Amino acid sequence: MINLILFGPPGSGKGTQASRLVEKYNLLHISTGDLFRYNMKNDTPLGLEAKSYIEKGELVPDSVTINMLKAKVDENPDVAGYIFDGFPRTTPQAEALDELLEPKGGVSSLLMLDVPEEELVGRLLERGKTSGRKDDLDESIIRNRQEVYRNETMPIFDYYFKKGVSTKIWGVGSLDKVFSRLCLELDAL
Ligand code: AP5
Ligand code: MG
């Protein structure tokens, strides 16, 4: 199994690259952000709970996020592997993922898309013109998401680095170039 964490700050290209990787490697793409947005669109209780955090650019509480992620993995046991996009974002989430994947061989690789902050803010402001995502509309919320990433999520890179599976990938350049850098790492697994 390939259990890949596609890691990186908001706007680094996780969603964009994940949709290409799932085709090439036949994996299941699980994006916690997409799952929350689906629930928000359908006004589910989970969506209502998540909304107040997401619109401020804060993290949704761990218990809610971990339960949602576990349910998604359990619904899809017979896949060749998973791409986790936007999860884990905190140490308790990483610990929960390790436990969940223990019978499935654990995390194979964490690939971090490395992109400078000014480029990220530019990308998200641009996307905000058409995405309909409230967290893309306001520069202060976009900057808050970057700060939350630095403070709460960045330590996850080291958490998996110590386990020997974290790698940084330069995330600037054409979509094709970034994709081939990712494939180079995955083909070596
Ligand atoms: P989430 O949906 O995960 O959003 P994010 O991390 O803010 O990241 P984005 O989806 O905005 O960016 P991306 O890296 O996927 O880049 P993309 O491919 O879209 O999370 C949203 C919220 O949900 C969080 O703030 C939090 O509240 C909550 N949440 C989610 N998971 C959670 C968790 N585990 N715990 C707690 N809360 C959680 O690309 C961005 C833009 O750049 C696009 O317009 C794209 O076209 C463009 N682009 C991509 N690649 C390139 C390139 N190479 N060159 C130029 N432009 C590019
Ligand atoms: Mg995304």
For the stretch 97-132, pLDDT in tens is 999 999 999 999 999 999 999 999 999 999 999 999
By residue range, what is the domain housing residue 165? 2-184
Q: Which listed ligand is nearest to 84 at the C-alpha?
A: 1
Look at residue 138 and tell me if it is in a domain. Answer: yes
What's the token pair of residue 183?
């494939």
The residue whose CA has the least distance to atom 26 of ligand 1 is: 59
Q: What is the per-residue pLDDT for 175? A: 98
Residues facing residue 129 across a β-bridge: none
59 lines ligand 1 (CB under 6 A): yes
Residue 88 lies in a domain: yes
Substitution site in 7, 17, 22, 36 for ligand 1 pocket (most atoms within 8 Å of beta carbon): 36
- pLDDT for res 94: 98
pLDDT of residue 8: 98
pLDDT < 50 positions in the chain: none
Query: For residue 144, what pLDDT is reported?
Result: 98
Nearest ligand, CA 131: 1
Q: What's the pLDDT score for residue 167? A: 98
Q: Tokens for 187?
A: 């083909």
**Residue 154 Cα distances to 87, 98, 149, 157, 188, angstroms:** 12, 17, 6, 6, 24
Q: Is residue 189 part of a domain?
A: no
pLDDT for residue 28? 97
Q: How many A from CA of 11 to the centre of ligand 1?
A: 5
Q: What is the pTM of this model?
A: 0.97
> What would the DSSP string read from start to end of 102-154?
GGGT---EEEEEE--HHHHHHHHHHHHTTS--GGGT-HHHHHHHHHHIIIIIT
Q: Residue 84 and residue 61: Cα distance in Å, rounded?
A: 18
Number of domains in the chain: 1
Q: What CATH number has the domain bearing residue 75?
A: 3.40.50.300
